[in-house]
Structure 1
Amino acid sequence: MQNPAHPSSTRHVLVTGGGRGIGRAIATAFKEDGATVSIIGRDRAALDAALATAVADRAYVADVTDPHAVEAAIREAEGVAPIEVLVANAGAAESAPFLKHDPALFRRMFDVNVVGVVNAVQAVLPGMLARKSGRIIAIASTAGLKGYAYVSAYSAAKHAAIGLVRSLALEVARDGITVNAVCPGFTDTDLVGESLERIMQSTGRDRAAALASLTKHNPQGRLVEPGEVADAARWLAGPGAGSVTGQAITVAGGEL
């Protein structure tokens, strides 16, 4: 149901990685608030499923690591309406002992989790600067604020993404644009589901024990809900967060 009084109403919001998981929850939240929502992702089937259930108004197939594809998708989206809120959500995680972290693994993690954010921001920022208005939100991770074993490349990439947010926030602070990160803990998504499967396969634990190994990091003893991450993004996009910029907002049950 549209809420005309909500600050997201009538605005154009673009979410990368919007076809599933946290990105889908974020797209859904803004759509429920009455915003025009565009999503970008690599998986055409996931995007089509999101459109079929009214998660978004439009979807564009693009790999966020490809600057030309991202640029083309965002130019097409901007043909509908200026993008006023960017949620750079697309990400990926791989785990392995550090000595099995080869350079290719580091490149994959940085390409998706850092360069993917850069590509999306560089495509929307000129319009925001021209209008002297905009909200940029990167979905990072608690792994960008602390370390976790076996995800050195992922953690390094998320630390870099938060550094990017903090630097860019200072650069555009006088241009009516805020730049922030949301840092979820382990969240109930298919990405964490895949992690559980790997833990089960590598350790022989059952699903309950594998899940306990992840939820132990959260003082509330549970996985974060995607909708809780979406609510943080909604707030950062709203008028009450106009003075909030360069921040890393943790959604992790008190972990940090």
Structure 2
Amino acid sequence: MNLRLKGKNILITGSAKGIGRGIALAAAKEGANIALHYLHSEQEAVRTALEIKEEYGLEVYPVKGDIAKIEDVMKIKEELDHKLGGIECIVNNAGFFQMKSFFQYQPDEWKREVDVCFYGVLNLVHAFLPGMMKKKEGKFINIVGDSAQTGNRRLIISAAARNGAISFLKSLAQDVGRSNIQCNTVSIGLVNNGSSDFNEAALEKIIKQYPLKRIGKVDDVTGMVLFLLSNHADWITGQVVSVNGGYSMLG
């Protein structure tokens, strides 16, 4: 299947490692120009950029910034406008969460999660979508955890913020559809991205909750993201697509 991503300028946030890195590598394999965003993971970003250059012979454009800060996002946009002439697609993989119940928070501790998981999406849209609307072409994909749909008592703040982002993108899809822009959410279950906060016993207990009896692999996510980035998904917008091994079956 020809995804027609060759030559597309794609910004992937949080793409130095883990799922974001996997998406960057997969999109580069299809010939896309990659804007590789990171905040703290500079060494990992350098390694990922070098791997893409060596493997696919493409130029990669690492960009550093905090998506929770509109001034950082605007600087990223200016830099990419200069280097690439603009961005045609965005995959927002950046996120931040704390695993604890609500009553373990102090009031100043939940702000960062809301700023990254909700306001980060608004900042990216505010900065980049007007350019896409002018060109009458663009795609915005936001990646969230399944807790954004199902709730999770130990991910309560990030789940709430990401649920807000889901609602925002549904409304945005209605607004920018006339400009031929598609906005979708990919909701994922637990994915092995190279690091785990669970011991073996806890992981076995979690796996029992998945009908497919395994947690996800990075490749399970990248295939769906590439499809939504492609021309084959031009009539899909405002949707939440679950990639979760059957952990939740919402409809």
TM-score exceeds 0.5: yes
Deviations 1:83-105 (A, max 9, x none): 11101110122111221133223
Q: 2:46 maps to what in 1?
A: 48
Find the residue that maps to 2:191 and give its secondary structure: coil
Is the contact made by 2:3 and 2:231 (CA closer than 8 Å) also made in structure 1?
Answer: no
Deviations 1:197-219 (A, max 9, x none): xxxxxxxxxx2112123323322
Structure 1 residues 65 and 234: CA distance shift in structure 2, 3 A: same
Secondary structure at the counterpart of residue 186 of structure 2: strand
Q: Is the 8 A contact 1:94 1:151 kept in 2?
A: yes
Task: In structure 2, list runs of 5 or more residues that go unmatched.
Answer: 54-58
Q: Aligned AA for 2:136? A: K
| Structure-to-structure mapping, 1:1-256, within 5 angstroms | 5-42=2-39, 43-54=41-52, 57-79=60-82, 80-190=84-194, 193=196, 195-196=197-198, 207-255=199-247, 256=249
> Among the aligned pairs, what percent are the same residue?
28
Further displaced range: 207-216 or 240-249? 207-216
Unaligned runs of 5+ in 1: 197-206
SS of residue paired to 2:76: helix
Change in 2 beyond 3 A, CA 1:140/1:103 = same
TM-score, normalising length from structure 2? 0.91
Q: Secondary structure at the match of 2:140?
A: strand
Q: Decide which moves more: 76-85 or 98-107.
A: 98-107
State the secondary structure of the residue aligned to 2:98: coil
Q: Which residue of 1 aligns with 2:56?
A: none
Structure 1: 4+ residue segments shifted above 3 A:
none
Equivalent pairs, count: 241
8 Å CA contact 1:186–1:215 kept in 2: the answer is no
Cα separation, 2, equivalents of 1:173 and 1:240: 16
CA RMSD between the two structures: 1.6
**Inter-partner Cα distance in structure 1 for 2:131 and 2:173:** 16
Contact 1:144 1:161 in 2 (8 A): no
* TM-score in terms of structure 1 length: 0.89
How far did 1:117 drift?
Answer: 1.5
